[in-house]
Amino acid sequence: METIFSTLKINLFDAHLIQQHLLPWYDKNRRVLPWRALPGHKPNVYHVWLSEIMLQQTTVPTVIPYFLNFIRLWPTVHALSEASLDDILHAWQGLGYYARARNLFKCAQEIATLYKGDFPSSESTLLTLPGIGPYTAAAIAAIAFEKNTSPLDGNIERVLSRVYAIDTPLPTSKSLLKNLARHHTPFQRLGDYAQALMDLGSLVCTPKNPTCFVCPLKDFCRAFQKGKAEIYPLKEEASLKPTRTLDAFWIESKSGALLLEKRPHKGLLGGLVMVPIPYLNKNEENLFFKEEALPLKGVVSHTFTHFHLKVRVLKSFIERDNLSLLENQFWCPLAKISEQALPTLMKKIMRHVL
C-alpha cells in the first residue's frame, strides 16, 4: 500500500484536507432522507439496515416509497421477522433483485432470535448475516454505530477515483480504492463522513456532467485540474449480455381465472408468482395447455442482471377448472391478480395481454 500511495503521491495531509472541506459542506448540503438521522440524533439501526439493503443496485428516489411502506407495515425488526415471506415479497414487488427480499427476511429472523432484536455493531459480525456483504456491513457499522470502517460504494469510488485521477480501471482498482477509503477515514464523525462522500457523489460528483465548480474538493481534485473529471473512474470494457427467447402461457378458465405458478424460492424470480414459463421450470410437465395456445403479436422484453429476455406470449382458454395441476400451480381470479407477489416481468406480460 505504501508503494502505491507513494506512486500516487498521497499522504496524510491529503486525507486531512478532504475531511476538513467535506464535513462542513455536508453540514450545509446533506440530503434529508427518511432513514437518515437528523443532526444530533442517534440513527435507528433498523432503518439504516433496511435502507442499505434496498439501496443495493437501486436508486434513492426509487427506494424512498418502498422504505416508507416497509416501516409502516413492519416498524421494527421484530415485526418484520414475524411477517410472512409472501407478504414481504408482495411489498417488494417492482423493486427487483428479489434475493434481497428473501435475505432481508432471513436476516430479520436471525436478528430477532439470535441477537434478541439488537443488531451487532462490528463489521465482521454483520458480515455473517444473510444479505450483508462488505459494503453494507461497513456502511451499517459506520453510520449506525460510528465504527472505524470504510464503506465503498459507487459514489465513493467515483469521488476517490477523480480526486486522485486513478488510471487503473474498475474493477481492478477496487482494492486500491478500498485502501484509499481506509486511509481517509477520520477518527470522529465516521457516519457523517461516509454519508458526506455518498452525498457528494450523488449531488455533485455525478457520473455525467459533474458540477465541479461547486465541489468542496475541487482545489485538490486531480481529475478536475486535468479538465477530465467525467472520464473517471475508468472502467474495463463490459461483455455483452446474451439474449434468450422463451414462451410464456396465458391460460384463462371459463370462470375468468388465470393459471399461475409460484416460483421456487431458490433461483430466478424465487418465491414470486408468474404465468407458466416451462423453460424456467426446467421441465415439460403438465403442459396440457401447450397444444391449443396461440401466440399473440409482438414480444415482451425484459433484462435481468446477466441476460436479456424476449418472451413470446401464447394464450388459450380452458373449458374446465378441475384439471390436475402441479403443486405450485393455482387458478387466480383475474380481478385478484394484483394481490399476488408479481415480478416486473409478469406485470409486463399482463400489459401485453390486457
Q: Of all helices (H) and strands (E), which one includes residue 330?
A: strand 329-333
Three-point CA angle 312, 314, 317, nearest 5°: 165
Residue 313 identity (one-letter amino acid): V
Question: 2-231 domain in CATH 1.10.340.30?
Answer: yes
> Residue 282: what pLDDT?
53
Computed from CA positions of residues 25, 31, 37, 39, in that sequence, does the dihedral angle turn out positive or negative?
Answer: positive
> Residue 199: what pLDDT?
97
Q: Which are the catalytic amino acids?
A: 52
Three-point CA angle 333, 336, 80, nearest 5°: 135
> Residue 195: what pLDDT?
96
Closest CA to 259 of 250, 268, 269: 250
Closest CA to 94 of 119, 128, 70: 70
> Residue 215: what pLDDT?
97
DSSP codes, 62-129:
HHHHHHHHHHHH--SHHHHHTS-HHHHHHHHTTS--THHHHHHHHHHHHHHHHSTTPPP-SHHHHTTS
Give CATH 3.90.79.10 domain extents, the chain. 243-353
Which pTM does this prediction carry?
Answer: 0.83
| Rounded distance between C-alpha atoms, residue 276 and residue 85, angstroms | 21
Give CATH 1.10.340.30 domain extents, the chain. 2-231
No. of H helices and E strands in the chain?
A: 15, 7
pLDDT tens digits for the chain (354 residues)? Answer: 445 555 566 665 577 888 899 999 999 999 999 999 998 899 999 999 999 999 998 999 999 999 999 999 999 999 999 999 999 999 999 898 899 999 999 999 999 999 999 999 999 999 999 999 999 999 999 999 999 999 999 999 999 999 999 999 999 999 999 988 988 888 889 999 999 999 999 999 999 999 999 999 999 899 999 999 999 999 988 778 899 999 999 999 888 899 999 998 888 888 899 999 886 655 555 565 666 788 899 999 999 888 999 999 999 888 766 677 888 889 999 999 989 999 999 999 999 998
> Residue 4: what pLDDT?
54
Three-point CA angle 202, 205, 208, nearest 5°: 90
> Residue 132: what pLDDT?
98
Question: In 3-state terms, what secondary structure has residue 263?
Answer: coil
Question: Which positions ≥6 away from 74 have C-beta within 8 Å?
Answer: 80, 83
Question: For the domain bounded by 243-353, which CATH number is listed?
Answer: 3.90.79.10
Altogether, the residues listed in the chain come to a count of 354
The three cell numbers locating residue 73 = 407495515
